[in-house]
């Protein structure tokens, strides 16, 4: 095995392995919540919330001088990841989170998230971003192991992956070089230099 | 003519090669080029160069999961999914179709198709030296290699010149120079690291990885295009594989018959002639059994696969498996232990970047236990480092930076900070109790017994791992890096995909399976030149050594055949 594959594996372990590490740890943590998170999720709800997912993704990666998440059209990809690449506990936390977002928007602004203004959406997302930040250190590791990733961590991660690997995100938001044809080890950064889309 | 005689004649070749991976492909090429009518048997499907690289031109967004694995992949392929992704999954076996038994955790990562793992290999190519060939004799682990560097050196030249290996000569005795194509370039941070290590660490060298990717047109193949998608198969033939290089050469002679879907269940033996006569093949699709015959047989089914074939070839003469009078078949299984080292950040060079996706990193050749006092440590043998410097991309920044919105997007889409990764690849000693056996009770869908693997690393490797991590951290510290963190992820046997040693070479037929020409001590017309033959593992990536040993063994075998010795 070569270093690049291994580094990717390490990286996945550190960051994105969250994706597909199914099952595993026994319930030291027992309790109603844990059990609830392990029941079969109602994935049909994802389709019902697809506009909410789209607007959440756009709030995380908005259109600027380059396309945002909405223009990149990544909602079906996010739904595919939640449906097919996500452990059950995180599927449940994700669906729960979507419902909570709408509940919070209604409580604060008397309207659903997608009806909120940009400023209101940002305030809602700021609340969930802060609420769901992973605990630091050991507590974070234990919590993640038993409960899986929090709602917003999943939402943000899938938005990032979806955007950066989408056609618009990769070719306009980032710098995508389909067939480089050469390797140059040292070049000066160009003004406005984007990060390479693939490694 | 008696119809049976006719049938036998049609199924008779000069040579049979079992397996079409790196070493099988070389055996096919060498034997065919020397004029032998050669049957190459591959247990899996055919993979035509270029035509069958079905994902090779796809962009990330053309994959349903943009390259990621699904929960179902993990559940159905708990072993292979550690390595594959959506882009190259079709070059790995389905775990459920090809079961084996892990007595201790052991990942047997495989691809059953023409070309085998030569399509998905890491492609790094390093010569062994006499430090390696003399190691067993000096410290008493395993048996002495029956060859020394001078025996294999011209064959390394030969293999490198055909395969096309890019790299840089460094004049090191422990990592001999070779016949290299122009080296790939280091990036700014790697150049910095090379200079610092040279300055602060006497005798340590940071060189560009020596890799079977072409830096110029070579033997009809196009140079590497720096896409770094090698494991999907390369439509340019930019890296060495059986499919791109050796099998086309073999085919061009008109002497090769390639037969996919051909599972070799055993090698047939004639106890009067004391020779192998052929092989028994199960058609993977129809289960039809056919026998093929030849004067010589090259067994290149991989370390575990070849041990399986030998152990399953039982006869009155060899009740414990073909050529196993030493009881060494299946024993001394080795892999390289790794997943230990250090990572760090680098502040500076903020206006530096790079263009292209270089398919290899840097290499730090072994610097421990070289024979002098200064390099000596309290464990045996040594390790090398692979690594690389990079500016972190969205894969890091997107998932580590707090926040959202415009400010977050700005960070996400710019080149991130420079970082460096250094990981050790360590030698594993040959232990007789690290072993492949057959489980006769459990059978696969072709009715064949299951291979059973019992492998673990021991005290020497554990002691080495501590040094691997410490010395990686030390090198990064002295080179001006910050935020240095050592790591030692749990290594699972087999994960390095460098299985070796299950039919080792040696002088003595009582303690080894093969002689100095990879010829079975017990059965002179059977040669084994895959990872099985390795008497010790050294710490270098082993495939180049299989290529050289294969070409050398073919030369010897055909010479013996012509002299009437076989």
Nearest CA in chain B to A68: B409
CA-to-CA separations, B46 to B41, B112, B283, in angstroms, rounded: 11, 9, 13
State how far residue A188 is from chain B, nearest Cα, in angstroms: 5
Contacts of A32 (CB under 8 A, 6+ apart): none
Q: How many CB atoms lie within 10 A of CB B261?
A: 18
- Mark whether B294 and B423 lie in a shared domain: no
Chain B hits for A17, Cβ within 8 Å: none
- Flag whether B31 is in a domain: yes
Query: Looking at chain A from residue 134 to 173, which residues have their Cβ under 8 Å from any Cβ of chain B?
Result: 156-157, 160-162, 164-167, 170, 173
The answer to whether residue A23 scores a pLDDT higher than 70 is: no
Backbone angles phi, psi at B500, to 5 degrees: -150, 165
Structure tokens at A50: 């697809």
Q: Report the Cα–Cα distance between both ends of chain B, in Å, rounded.
A: 28
* pTM more than 0.80: yes
State how far residue B459 is from chain A, nearest Cα, in angstroms: 23
- Mark whether B356 and B471 lie in a shared domain: yes
State whether the Cα torsion B121-B313-B529-B220 is positive or negative: negative
d(CA B230, CA B233): 5
The answer to whether residue A19 scores a pLDDT higher than 50 is: no
- Flag whether B102 is in a domain: no
What does the pLDDT look like over B549-564, one tens digit per residue? 999 999 999 999 999 9
What does the pLDDT look like over A114-163, one tens digit per residue? 999 999 999 999 999 999 987 777 777 777 777 789 999 999 999 999 99
Kindly tell me the burial class for residue A193, based on how many C-beta atoms sit within 10 Å of its own C-beta (0-12, 13-18, 19 or more): middle
For residue A3, give the nearest of B424, B213, B120, B170 by alpha carbon. B424
d(CA A173, CA A166): 10
d(CA B557, CA B563): 10
Which of A7-16, B240-249, B412-421, B524-533 has the lowest average pLDDT? Answer: A7-16
- Flag whether B128 is in a domain: yes
State how far residue A40 is from chain B, nearest Cα, in angstroms: 14
What does the pLDDT look like over B263-297, one tens digit per residue? 999 999 999 999 999 999 999 999 999 999 999 99
Contacts of B67 (CB under 8 A, 6+ apart): A165, B60, B85, B86, B87
d(CA A158, CA A79): 9
Flag whether residue A78 sits within 8 Å of chain B, measured between CB atoms. no
Chain B hits for A77, Cβ within 8 Å: 66
Residue numbers of the domain that contains B426: 188-209+335-430+456-497
Q: What is the pLDDT of residue B284?
A: 98
State how far residue B226 is from chain A, nearest Cα, in angstroms: 6
- DSSP labels, B209-228: PPBSB-SS-BTTBPPP-S--
- Flag whether A4 is in a domain: no
Taking only Cα atoms into account, the Rg of chain A, rounded to an integer number of angstroms, comes to: 19
Give the CA count within 13 Å in the CB-facing half-sphere of B341: 25
Q: What is the pLDDT of residue A144?
A: 75
- Flag whether A33 is in a domain: no
What does the pLDDT look like over B150-164, one tens digit per residue? 999 999 999 999 999
Q: Strand locations in B140-288, DSSP E?
A: 207-208, 256-259, 262-270, 275-283
Flag whether residue B118 sits within 8 Å of chain A, measured between CB atoms. no
Residues in chain A: 199
d(CA B124, CA B386): 10
What's the number of domains chain A is made of? 1
pLDDT band at A38 (very low <50, low <70, confident <90, very high): confident
Flag whether residue A60 sits within 8 Å of chain B, measured between CB atoms. yes
- Mark whether B393 and B511 lie in a shared domain: no
- Mark whether B383 and B460 lie in a shared domain: yes
Flag whether residue A16 sits within 8 Å of chain B, measured between CB atoms. yes
- Mark whether B460 and B492 lie in a shared domain: yes
d(CA A144, CA A154): 12
Q: What is the pLDDT of residue B418?
A: 97
Tell me B513's DSSP state: S
- Mark whether B6 and B153 lie in a shared domain: yes
Q: What is the CATH number of the domain that holds B528?
A: 3.50.50.60
- Flag whether B33 is in a domain: yes
The answer to whether residue A3 scores a pLDDT higher than 60 is: no
Give the CA count within 13 Å in the CB-facing half-sphere of B310: 37
Residue numbers of the domain that contains A113: 44-173
- Flag whether A198 is in a domain: no
What does the pLDDT look like over B85-133, one tens digit per residue? 999 999 999 999 999 999 999 999 999 999 999 999 999 999 999 999 9
Give the CA count within 13 Å in the CB-facing half-sphere of B547: 31
Flag whether residue B490 sits within 8 Å of chain A, measured between CB atoms. no
d(CA B309, CA B52): 28
d(CA A64, CA A163): 14
What is the average per-residue pLDDT within B361-388? Answer: 97
CA-to-CA separations, A30 to A94, A146, A147, in angstroms, rounded: 20, 9, 11
- DSSP labels, chain A: --HHHHHHHHHHHHTGGGGT--S----TT-SHHHHHHTSPP-THHHHHTHHHHHHHHHHHS--SSS--HHHHT-HHHHHHHHHHSS-HHHHHHHHHHHHHHHHHHHHHHSS-GGGS-HHHHHHHHHHHHHHTPPPPHHHHHHHHHHH-S-HHHHHHHHHHHHHHTSHHIIIIISB--S-----EEEEEPPTTPPPBS--
Nearest CA in chain A to B386: A3
Q: What is the pLDDT of residue A44?
A: 87
- Flag whether A103 is in a domain: yes
Cβ contact (<8 Å) for B414 and A87? no
CA-to-CA separations, B92 to B24, B110, B297, in angstroms, rounded: 18, 6, 26
Helix (H, G, I), strand (E, B) or coil at B511: coil
Backbone angles phi, psi at B501, to 5 degrees: 95, 0
Give the distance between the most distant pair of CA atoms in chain A: 57
Q: Determine what percent of chain B falls in helix, strand and coil, rounding each to the nearest 5.
A: 30, 20, 50
The answer to whether residue B77 scores a pLDDT higher than 70 is: yes
Chain B hits for A174, Cβ within 8 Å: 394, 413
- Mark whether B272 and B305 lie in a shared domain: yes
- Mark whether B464 and B391 lie in a shared domain: yes
- Mark whether B31 and B149 lie in a shared domain: yes
Q: What is the pLDDT of residue B512?
A: 98
Beta bridge partners, B297, equal B16, B526
- Mark whether B529 and B382 lie in a shared domain: no
CB B341 within 8 A of CB B469: yes
Mutate to test the interface with B, among A3, A9, A172 (most CBs of B within 10 A): A3
What does the pLDDT look like over A47-79, one tens digit per residue? 999 999 999 999 999 999 999 999 999 999 999
d(CA A10, CA A15): 8
Chain B hits for A178, Cβ within 8 Å: 59, 227
Q: What is the pLDDT of residue A22?
A: 31
What's the number of domains chain B is made of? 2
Nearest CA in chain B to A194: B414
Cβ contact (<8 Å) for B496 and A1? yes
State how far residue A171 is from chain B, nearest Cα, in angstroms: 11
Q: Any alpha helices (H) in B213-318, and if so which ranges?
A: 247-252, 303-311
What is the average per-residue pLDDT within B190-209? Answer: 97
User: Which residue in B70, B122, B191 is closest to A84 by CB distance?
Assistant: B70
Mutate to test the interface with A, among B399, B418, B472, B491 (most CBs of A within 10 A): B399
Q: What is the pLDDT of residue A16?
A: 38
The gap from C-alpha B469 to its chain's centroid, in whole angstroms, comes to: 24
- Flag whether B95 is in a domain: no
State how far residue A122 is from chain B, nearest Cα, in angstroms: 8
The gap from C-alpha A35 to its chain's centroid, in whole angstroms, comes to: 24
Q: What is the pLDDT of residue B369?
A: 98
pLDDT band at A6 (very low <50, low <70, confident <90, very high): low
pLDDT band at A2 (very low <50, low <70, confident <90, very high): low
Taking only Cα atoms into account, the Rg of chain B, rounded to an integer number of angstroms, comes to: 24
Q: What is the pLDDT of residue A12?
A: 42
In total, the C-beta contacts within 8 angstroms joining chain A to chain B are 220
- Flag whether B220 is in a domain: no
- Mark whether B410 and B473 lie in a shared domain: yes
Q: What is the pLDDT of residue A24?
A: 35
CB B416 within 8 A of CB B390: no
- Mark whether B294 and B405 lie in a shared domain: no
pLDDT band at A17 (very low <50, low <70, confident <90, very high): very low
Element of type H or E holding B42: none
What does the pLDDT look like over B218-237, one tens digit per residue? 999 999 999 999 999 999 99
Helix axes A118-131, A88-109, angle to 10 degrees: 130
ipTM, 2 decimals?
0.94
d(CA B279, CA B313): 9
User: Which residue in A3, A20, A164 is closest to B387 by CB distance?
Assistant: A3
Helix (H, G, I), strand (E, B) or coil at B533: helix
- Flag whether A114 is in a domain: yes
- Flag whether B262 is in a domain: yes
**Summary mean pLDDT of chain B:** 97
d(CA A157, CA A154): 5
- Flag whether B341 is in a domain: yes
**Summary mean pLDDT of chain A:** 86
Looking at B497, B513, B546, the residue that finishes a domain is B497
Structure tokens at B370: 């070289």
């Amino acid at each position: 095995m070569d270093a690049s594959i291994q580094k990717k594996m390490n990286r996945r372990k550190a960051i994105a392995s969250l994706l597909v590490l199914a099952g595993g740890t026994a319930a030291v943590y027992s309790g109603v919540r844990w059990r609830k998170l392990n029941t079969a999720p109602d994935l049909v709800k994802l389709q019902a919330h697809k506009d909410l997912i789209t607007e959440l993704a756009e709030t995380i990666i908005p259109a600027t001088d380059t396309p945002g998440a909405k223009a990149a059209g990544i909602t079906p990809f996010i739904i595919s990841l939640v449906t097919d690449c996500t452990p059950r506990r995180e599927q449940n936390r994700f669906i729960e989170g979507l419902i909570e977002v709408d509940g919070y928007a209604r409580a604060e602004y008397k309207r659903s998230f997608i009806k909120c203004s940009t400023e209101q959406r940002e305030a809602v997302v700021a609340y969930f971003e802060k609420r769901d930040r992973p605990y630091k250190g050991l507590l974070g590791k234990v919590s993640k192991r038993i409960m899986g990733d929090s709602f917003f961590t999943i939402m943000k991660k899938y938005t990032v992956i979806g955007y950066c690997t989408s056609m618009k995100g990769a070719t306009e938001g980032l710098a995508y070089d389909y067939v480089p044809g050469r390797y140059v080890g040292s070049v000066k950064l160009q003004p406005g230099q984007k990060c390479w889309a693939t490694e | 003519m008696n119809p049976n005689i006719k049938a036998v004649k049609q199924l008779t070749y000069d040579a049979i090669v079992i397996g079409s991976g790196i070493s099988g492909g070389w055996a096919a090429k060498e034997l065919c080029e020397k004029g032998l009518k050669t049957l190459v048997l591959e247990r899996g499907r055919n993979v035509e160069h270029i035509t069958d690289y079905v994902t090779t031109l796809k962009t990330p967004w053309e994959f349903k999961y943009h390259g990621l694995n699904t929960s179902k992949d993990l559940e159905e392929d708990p072993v292979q999914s550690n390595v594959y992704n959506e882009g190259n999954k079709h070059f790995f076996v389905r775990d459920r179709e090809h079961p084996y038994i892990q007595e201790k955790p052991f990942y047997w990562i495989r691809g059953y198709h023409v070309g085998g793992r030569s399509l998905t290999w890491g492609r790094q190519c390093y010569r062994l030296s006499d430090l390696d060939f003399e190691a067993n004799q000096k410290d008493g682990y395993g048996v002495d290699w029956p060859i020394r560097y001078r025996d294999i050196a011209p064959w390394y030249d030969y293999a490198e010149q055909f395969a096309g290996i890019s790299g840089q000569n460094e004049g090191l005795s422990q990592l001999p120079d070779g016949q290299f194509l122009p080296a790939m370039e280091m990036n700014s941070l790697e150049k910095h690291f090379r200079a610092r290590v040279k300055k602060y660490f006497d005798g340590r060298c940071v060189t560009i990885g020596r890799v079977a990717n072409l830096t110029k047109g070579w033997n009809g193949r196009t140079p590497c295009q720096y896409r770094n998608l090698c494991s999907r198969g390369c439509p340019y033939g930019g890296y060495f594989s059986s499919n791109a290089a050796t099998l086309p050469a073999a085919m061009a002679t008109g002497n090769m018959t390639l037969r996919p879907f051909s599972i070799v269940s055993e090698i047939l033996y004639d106890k009067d002639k004391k020779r192998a006569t052929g092989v028994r093949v199960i058609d993977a699709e129809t289960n039809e059994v056919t026998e093929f015959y030849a004067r010589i047989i090259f067994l290149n089914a991989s370390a575990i696969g070849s041990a399986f074939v030998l152990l399953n070839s039982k006869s009155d003469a060899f009740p414990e498996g073909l050529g196993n009078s030493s009881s060494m078949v299946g024993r001394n299984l080795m892999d390289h232990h790794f997943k230990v080292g250090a990572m760090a950040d680098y502040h500076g060079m903020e206006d530096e970047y790079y263009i292209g996706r270089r398919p290899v990193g840097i290499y730090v050749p072994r610097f421990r236990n070289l024979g002098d006092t200064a390099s000596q440590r309290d464990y045996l043998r040594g390790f090398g480092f692979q690594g690389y410097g990079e500016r972190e991309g969205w894969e890091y920044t997107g998932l580590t930076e707090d926040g959202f919105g415009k400010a977050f997007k700005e960070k996400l889409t710019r080149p991130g900070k420079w970082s460096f990764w250094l990981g050790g690849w360590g030698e594993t000693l040959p232990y007789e109790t690290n072993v492949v056996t057959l489980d006769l009770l459990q059978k696969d869908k072709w009715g064949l017994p299951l291979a059973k693997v019992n492998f673990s690393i021991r005290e020497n490797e554990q002691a080495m791992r501590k040094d691997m991590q410490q010395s990686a951290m030390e090198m990064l510290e002295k080179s001006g890096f910050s935020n240095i963190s050592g790591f030692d992820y749990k290594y699972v046997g087999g994960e390095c995909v460098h299985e070796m040693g299950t039919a080792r070479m040696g002088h003595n037929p009582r303690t080894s399976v093969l002689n100095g020409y990879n010829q079975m001590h017990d059965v002179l017309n059977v040669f084994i030149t895959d990872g099985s033959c390795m008497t010790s593992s050294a710490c270098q990536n082993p495939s180049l050594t299989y290529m050289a040993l294969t070409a050398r063994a073919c030369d010897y075998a055909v010479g013996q055949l012509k002299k009437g010795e076989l």
